[in-house]
Amino acid sequence: MSSTALRFRTARAYTRNSSKQSILLARTFASTTRRYEINKVLPSAAEALKDMKPNSTVLCGGFGLCGVPDTLIDEVINKPEITGITAVSNNAGTDTSGLGKLLKTKQIKKMIASYIGENKTFEKMYLTGEVELELTPQGTLAERCASGGKGIPAFYTPAAFGTVVQTGELPLKNNPDGTPHQYSYPKDVKVFDGKQYLLEESIKGDYAFVKAYKADKLGNCQFRLTANNFNGAMGRNAKMTIVEAEHIVEPGEISPEAVHLPGIYVKRVIQSTTTKNIEKYTFAKDPNDPEAKAALGSGETAAKREKIVRRAAKEFKNGMYANLGIGMPMLAPAFVGPEVEVQLQSENGILGLGPYPVKGKEDADLINAGKETVTLKPGAAVFGSEESFGMIRSGRVNLTILGAMQVSGNGDLANWMLPGKIKGFGGAMDLVSNPEKTKVVVTMEHTDKKGNAKIVKQCAFPLTGRACVSMIITELGVFDVDIATGLTLVEIADGVTVEEIKSKTEAPFKVADDLKPML
């Protein structure tokens, strides 16, 4: 058949079936009018949770008190029949806010979290067996939630190798007297490119409670600043994602490139009705103000810590990306000269962390990993926790400075738990998971309050990471750490002798031939 005849035949067939073609096009391409018939907005939290069942797994966004879906949490309190909850969240808020309120009402049976923090109710309930706790490194938790939403059942991670997370020696539930009743299970280990990784199972949620800045009727969501944290990963995961938004807008009012959580993941949207809270108000101070130095302590303690922090600041090199732990490490940037530009990363989702805000300029949606109010530098970026820890594990962060309770002679680090007290891992296990690419520097006083050595032959406290520390800075000196050859004293503080350091150091060490004064 000629091409001309074929075209005529096709045209006749199209004409005969024109009505069918119109129906087909209408079904294939939703018109603007039909698309706007989708409306996921419900009138209240009560309506959104009307069919919620007991014994559900609930993924709850938020970090500290930032980005926490309090409207939905408060509504669960109004439904006392909803019990046996397994709550998945970075932390459980405080004694009087966030998931802490559901712990008090005994509606939570189990927490999967990275951090207990200052929540005394949570800590007491765990230690006395009233609630189960699957303590999980923060980056692993973010990835378990993110992977569960992508249909990936499990993955391998370098974080927590050689710790109680890997060996299964972490109590999941305690007896009323504080003794372990049930332990976690050992994790499978596999070697990739000569490095050991743990197998972690993804988390699957029945419900996800998400806090958004804006949401439209289609369920598209936009997060604001560090309120993104775990909200995006958890919102993509659950069978029933419910979003509470500060502003409910019409479709199109959130520009496409500003949609952080697409509506395909969201089932229901409600108006957020709770006030945003700030856990730790922290403000900028004049360096000459006595209060500015109070962060270092007072008297001899302050002098020791300032010496440590000043030396740690020398580790910053121009163009570095660095992550700083809570406490002394956070003070180091104040001692960095203007000739050095460093981009500070905060694991709750900031690259380009700025100084503390001036009083009155604090923002509930802008906090650091220590839950303190902060600012952003020009050119900063914000993102979700799962992306933040991807940067960390893959070695994009050049330097991390952490505190410690103990460091061993071969670079093992213990900094998350003391006997009888438990705060949680936070992000530390992830931060030290790639020491080949991220230099791990420990800043700490040389001995504890009782005069016991903190640089030891073998850590007595549970490990954060094995053979991960590259340098130790104390008020007495600086040690380089080599996992094969051990410690070498490379700098010594003014007025200190090698014999004094030996008397206060349990682990053996060599002295560098060119031992230098501490900078």
What is the predicted pLDDT for the residue at 18?
47
> What mean pLDDT do residues 334-344 have?
92
Domain that holds residue 338: 294-517
Together in a domain, 224 and 372: no
Instruction: Supply the CATH number for residue 510's domain.
Output: 3.40.1080.10
Together in a domain, 129 and 190: yes
302 pLDDT band, cuts 50/70/90, is confident
Q: Which of 12-26, 296-310, 326-340 has the lowest mean pLDDT?
A: 12-26
Helical segments of 288-443, H only: 290-293, 299-313, 385-393, 428-431
| pLDDT of 288 higher than 80 | no
Together in a domain, 130 and 172: yes
> What mean pLDDT do residues 464-486 have?
97
Task: Give percent of the chain above pLDDT 70.
Answer: 90
| pLDDT of 25 higher than 70 | no
Q: How many domains would you assign to the chain? A: 2
| pLDDT of 439 higher than 60 | yes
> What mean pLDDT do residues 486-514 have?
97
> What mean pLDDT do residues 399-424 have?
91
13 pLDDT band, cuts 50/70/90, is very low
Together in a domain, 316 and 198: no
| pLDDT of 36 higher than 80 | no
Query: What are the tokens at 84?
Result: 């046996």
Helix H, strand E, coil C: the string for 368-398 is: CCCCEECCEEEEEEECCHHHHHHHHHCCCCC
Is 504 inside a domain boundary?
Answer: yes
Together in a domain, 157 and 104: yes
Is 2 inside a domain boundary?
Answer: no
Is 282 inside a domain boundary?
Answer: no
Dist CA 137 CA 112 (whole Å)? 10
Is 288 inside a domain boundary?
Answer: no
| pLDDT of 31 higher than 90 | no
Average pLDDT, the chain: 91
Together in a domain, 207 and 325: no
Active site residues: 347
pTM beyond 0.85: the answer is yes
| pLDDT of 237 higher than 80 | yes
> What mean pLDDT do residues 250-263 have?
98
Together in a domain, 198 and 330: no
Together in a domain, 316 and 431: yes
**Beta strand extents in 202-311 (DSSP E only):** 207-216, 221-222, 240-249, 268-271
Is 306 inside a domain boundary?
Answer: yes
Nearest of 215, 274, 251 to residue 93 by alpha carbon? 274
| pLDDT of 476 higher than 60 | yes
- 8 Å CB contact between 85 and 55: yes
Together in a domain, 384 and 309: yes
Is 289 inside a domain boundary?
Answer: no
| pLDDT of 29 higher than 80 | no
Dist CA 136 CA 88 (whole Å)? 10
Domain end point (choices 237, 271, 305): 271
> What mean pLDDT do residues 257-273 have?
98
| pLDDT of 192 higher than 60 | yes
Domain end point (choices 271, 305, 336): 271
Together in a domain, 131 and 256: yes
Which residues, at least 6 apart from 514, have a Cβ–Cβ distance to it below 8 Å?
none
Together in a domain, 329 and 257: no
Pairing of strands 189-192, 180-183: unpaired
118 pLDDT band, cuts 50/70/90, is confident
Is 325 inside a domain boundary?
Answer: yes
What is the predicted pLDDT for the residue at 148?
97
Is 359 inside a domain boundary?
Answer: yes
At 328 the three-state DSSP class reads helix
Domain end point (choices 271, 286, 302): 271
How confident is the model over 81-99, as pLDDT tens digits? 999 999 999 999 998 999 9
| pLDDT of 326 higher than 90 | no
What is the predicted pLDDT for the residue at 6?
45
Place of tokens 């096009």: 25
Together in a domain, 319 and 442: yes
Dist CA 242 CA 224 (whole Å)? 18
485 pLDDT band, cuts 50/70/90, is very high
What is the predicted pLDDT for the residue at 303?
86
